[in-house]
Amino acid sequence: MKKLLRFLSLAVCLSLPLTAAEPGREHHPEIHQAIAALEKAKHHLEHAEHDFGGHRREAVEACERAIQQLRLALESDRR
């Protein structure tokens, strides 16, 4: 499970841009990219041929929780 969570964390980190957002662009592009990376990882896990040593379900749920929290963070910034 730890290896899978490390992989997911690495995937999210690698998806983040290394430069600052340009003026006029959406707020928090890194968060939007993290959501996209988590959704991709979740999709991969859901359609994998094996269950990653019994940890797939928990990893999918962790992705769902992280996506939900990131969306709530974006929503709270709009208020």
pLDDT recorded at residue 14: 57
Within 10 angstroms of residue 34's Cβ, the number of other Cβ atoms is 19
> Can you give the pLDDT at residue 27?
86
Q: Looking at the 3D structure of the chain, how many domains does it have? A: 1
Q: How confident is the model at residue 63, as a pLDDT?
A: 97
Instruction: Provide the domain limits for residue 53.
Output: 2-8+28-78
Two structure tokens written together for 43: 């999709």
d(CA 37, CA 15): 7
Whether 14 is covered by a domain: the verdict is no
Quick check: is 62 in a domain? yes
The string of pLDDT tens digits covering residues 31-64 is 999 999 999 999 999 999 999 999 999 999 999 9
pLDDT in tens, 1-32: 766 666 666 666 655 554 444 555 578 999 99
Each residue's pLDDT tens digit, 56-79 = 999 999 999 999 999 999 999 876
In 15-56, beta strands by DSSP E: none
